[in-house]
Structure 1
Amino acid sequence: MGRTIKFQNLVTGDTHPARTEAIWKLYRQTIYVILSHERPFQIDLQSFRINVQCPAMMTIPLDHINLHDRRFCISHPLEDYLLLGSIRKLGIIHPLILLNVTPFIVVTGFKRLAAARELGFAAIPAIPVDLDERKALLYVIHDNLTRDLNLVEKAHAIDKAFHMGFEEDDLHEMMTLLGFQHHKKVLTHLEAIASAEETVKDFIVTHSLAMKSTRYLFGFNVEERGVIIHALSRFHVTESMIRETLEMLSLLKVRTGAIPIEDLNEAADGKDLERRLKDRTHPSLSALHRKLQSIRQQAALPPHMDIGVDPFFEKEYIDIRIKVKSDKDVAEAVEKLHALIDADLIRSMFDLTKGRIR
């Protein structure tokens, strides 16, 4: 009896020529992988449906599987509590794909295998296949195209393809498919991510770091990365805050040859760390911000009023913003502005922006 395998949504909505061509090439290669044993098949181009004769599913004891061989594993992290809960209730619905060797080697299903081991399963449903390593890796990548891969998983896929000796053109097309430019420096950086410490990978995935942020992160040595990650994991930070922090730390390392470990360890939160680092990277600018903060505290602006100053104090004007709902609100705002002028607080702000105070 044949099994139906569907290839859906691979090119739908994606008009990027290079990426579309890369997807179609991987699609054709995957068909070749599945049909490598010359089994009868039928293709319905409208639904991308392929009927092929596939090996039968078997129940395989865990002690017949090499549980430590992760040559085809691109998933990170393996822990998936939703999947664990599902398998606890329903068991493993989708069988694993295993290389038909002794002991069996996992091709796809590493998260399911991890959940099965945690739940104490003695055996799992699986389909043994006879594939070489390259075809098996192509199968893995295609199998994961149905979900959004994180940066670490993409790095794993590219790194494994590189070390398995994929042709340069195929490697470039795979990089395009996964959203990367095919440059040597990009490949080198992806290899660094793939071989990084687990704490670094976890940090990248947890905070959804972009390539630019990870480039800053890998500009530090292993010990420095550990200190930075430990510090930033103590409080809530956004991806943009992490990138700005890494930029400032990179600048300080270039200037001084080291990173300010005491600031990283003593900062109370993300804003405090940002202030400490700016004091070091831009001491004169930080002093101006402190003066501005003091003026704003004296001004005691009501919630519907704000006075904005260029963050780098390079523009000679200030922005006065007022939100009003009535004539009374306007009158109160004008009265407040007169009070600020009489108290010389507006002049003090202009002194900062026009460079009379430095």
Structure 2
Amino acid sequence: MHDLTIHHVPVADLALLPGNPRQGDVGAVVESMRTNGVYQPIIVNQGTLTGRPLEVIAGNHRAQAAQQLGMATVPAILLDLDDDAATRIALADNRTSDLADYDTAALVVMLQSLDGYAGTGYDGDDLDDLLRDLAGPPEKPTPTPSGPTERLCPSCGYDLNQGD
């Protein structure tokens, strides 16, 4: 069991995870942090087992956003992990998020409940796309026959086109 005490770690002292495979939108994180504040700590490896002190293993993009915002400190949970455990946590943090999906209708309702989208990572175009997804593909028009239309004699049912 890990100690999940939140510490305030100097942003300047943090080292980003080398070779982090996750590529995020730091600008969207900056906007979120500017609008909503910091609401989630990053996970930092103390580094006594790896020789790399204060390495961010989860929350690299939040750490970059804190740096861009000029924050002096960032809330962090400090763990002391070997390389294998740190790598597993970094991978699991990203992959478990990837495995999630959205209830599109619930997402639309949530977005529509807001006065604006600042700090959400969404914009009006995203909402339009979601609404289009909910509506489904457009209906295909019914094809019109390309040949002559059938003309039947109202009294006997004879195909009047046969004489053409």
TM-score interval for Structure 1 and Structure 2 normalised by the shorter chain = 0.5 to 0.7
Deviation at residue 74 of structure 1 after TM alignment: 2.3
Following superposition of structure 1 onto structure 2, how do residues 249-260 of structure 1 map, counting pairs within 5 Å? none
Gaps of 5+ in 2: 100-142, 150-164
Q: Which residue of 2 aligns with 1:97?
A: 43
Q: For the Cα contact (< 8 Å) 2:9–2:74, is it kept in 1? A: yes
In the alignment, residue 74 of structure 1 is paired with which amino acid?
Answer: P
In the alignment, residue 44 of structure 2 is paired with which amino acid?
Answer: L
In the alignment, residue 120 of structure 1 is paired with which amino acid?
Answer: G
RMSD: 2.8
Q: For the Cα contact (< 8 Å) 1:79–1:114, is it kept in 2? A: no
Equivalent in 77, 83, 86 of residue 32 of structure 2: 86
Q: Which string of whole-angstrom CA distances, capped at 9 and with x for unpartnered residues, describes residues 97-156 of structure 1?
A: 11113741111111111111222212100011110011111111111223228xxxxxxx
Q: For the Cα contact (< 8 Å) 1:107–1:140, is it kept in 2? A: yes
Q: Which residue of 2 aligns with 1:59?
A: 8
Equivalent in 2, 14, 21 of residue 74 of structure 1: 21
Q: Which residue of 1 aligns with 2:63?
A: 113
TM-score (norm 2): 0.53
Following superposition of structure 1 onto structure 2, how do residues 5-20 of structure 1 map, counting pairs within 5 Å? none
- The whole-number CA distance in structure 1 between the counterparts of 2:82 and 2:71 is 28
Q: Which string of whole-angstrom CA distances, capped at 9 and with x for unpartnered residues, describes residues 48-101 of structure 1?
A: xxxxx52311111112223xx43362211x334432221111222111111113
Q: For the Cα contact (< 8 Å) 1:83–1:112, is it kept in 2? A: yes
Provide the secondary structure at the position in 1 that maps to 2:75: strand
Following superposition of structure 1 onto structure 2, how do residues 1-358 of structure 1 map, counting pairs within 5 Å? 35=1, 54-66=3-15, 69-71=16-18, 73-76=20-23, 78-101=24-47, 103-148=53-98, 323-324=143-144, 330-331=147-148
TM-score (norm 1): 0.26
In the alignment, residue 4 of structure 2 is paired with which amino acid?
Answer: P
Provide the secondary structure at the position in 2 that maps to 1:71: coil
Identity %: 26
Q: For the Cα contact (< 8 Å) 2:42–2:75, is it kept in 1? A: yes
Q: Which residue of 1 aligns with 2:134?
A: none
Provide the secondary structure at the position in 1 that maps to 2:21: coil
Relative contact order (C-alpha < 8 Å, sep 6+): which is higher? 2
Aligned length: 104
- The whole-number CA distance in structure 2 between the counterparts of 1:80 and 1:106 is 15
Q: For the Cα contact (< 8 Å) 2:11–2:66, is it kept in 1? A: no
In the alignment, residue 88 of structure 1 is paired with which amino acid?
Answer: R
Give the helix-richer structure, 1 or 2.
Answer: 1
